Amino acid sequence: MGVPSDPIEWSWASKDALLYAVGVGAGTDDPLRELEFTTENSEGIRQQVLPTFGVIVTQDRTGRRVGEYDRARAVHAEQALELHRQLPVAGTVRVTSTVTGIYDKRSGALAVTENVAVDAATGEPLVTGRSSIFIRGEGGFGGPRDSTPLWERPSRAPDYQIVKQTRPEQPLIYRLSGDRNPLHSDPQFAARGGFRKPILHGLCTYGITGRALLQALGDSDPRRIHHIAVRFSQPVMPGEPLTISVWQQQGTGTAVFQTARQDGTVVLDRGIVRVGEPLPE
C-alpha cells in the first residue's frame, strides 16, 4: 500500500474512442446528434473523445490484486476522474497504480486505488483516476474507516433533469472496451453475486451520466469537463431508463448530481462535476 506500481505503457487508436462512445450510449437518442464522438469521417466534424474515456486510459493493467477474494462479491464503489489535458483521439500513456487505502466498512472492505496516466512522449500528466471497490464479507478486520467527503442533496428542484435510455445489449458492447468481468455477461457468475441476471457495468452508467453532464453543462465541448466523481449505490439492469438530476452551485463552476432509475432509486450518488475553461490539448 502506498507504493506505485512500475509504469505500464498503453496505446489507443481512434476506433477505441469510437467503440467506447457507442458503448456508453452515444447515438442512442439520435444517431446524428453525437457524430463527433461516434464517427471519424463526417464532413465538417472533427472526432473528439468523451471525457469519461479517461477511465479506459487510466485502467490498471498491472494485474495486481489487493488480496484473495471471490470476484463475484466485489463491486465498484466509487470513481473519480481529474482531467489535466484534453484526451486525444489516439495516444500512448504510461500508467502507474497505487493502492492508497484499505478501509474496514464492517460489512465489507473498501480498497482505494489511484492511477495516474502521463503522456509517454512528454511525461506530462493527462488524467488521474481514483476508484474503490467494495468487497462484501471482508470487513471486520479492525482497520480504519475512511472519511467520507461532505455531500448534501439540495432541497430545491434540479436545474436539469436528463433522461437517458440504456439498452438490453449494452453490457456486451461496453465490455469490448476492456472490462470483461463476467458479472456483466454471465448469468451464473451474476447469480453468485446475488443478482438475478447480469448487471450493467457501473462505469457504463458513469459514462452515460458523463454524456448527460457534458450536454447540459459543457455545451457538448469535452474540453470543459475537468472533474467527475460518483459513488455507485445500486446496480442498473440493462434496458432501464436513467434520470440524471443536476444542481448547479452558482459562481463555483461546480455542480452536484444523482442518477436514478425510473422508480426513483438512486444508482449514482454523491456526484460532483467541475466545469471550466477549455483544457489545453
- The CA–CA distances, whole Å, from 257 to 33, 166, 252, 254, 281 equal 23, 19, 15, 10, 27
**Cα–Cα distance, 107 to 79 (Å, whole number):** 20
**Using only C-alpha atoms, what is the Rg of the chain?**
18
**102, 169, 151, 177: which is closest to 254 by C-alpha?**
151
Phi-psi map region of 244: left, alpha, beta (phi>0 left; psi -120 to 50 alpha): beta
Element (H, E) at 272: strand 266-275
Which of these is catalytic: 76, 184, 201, 226?
184
User: CA 97, CA 118: separation in Å to the nearest integer?
Assistant: 12
179 is catalytic: yes
184 in catalytic set: yes
Q: Which of 179, 186, 201, 226 is catalytic?
A: 179
Q: Which of 209, 141, 206 is nearest to 179 (CA)?
A: 206
First-to-last alpha carbon distance for the chain, in angstroms, is 33
Q: Is 195 exposed, middle or buried (0-12, 13-18, 19+ CB in 10 A)?
A: middle
Q: Which residues are catalytic?
A: 179, 184
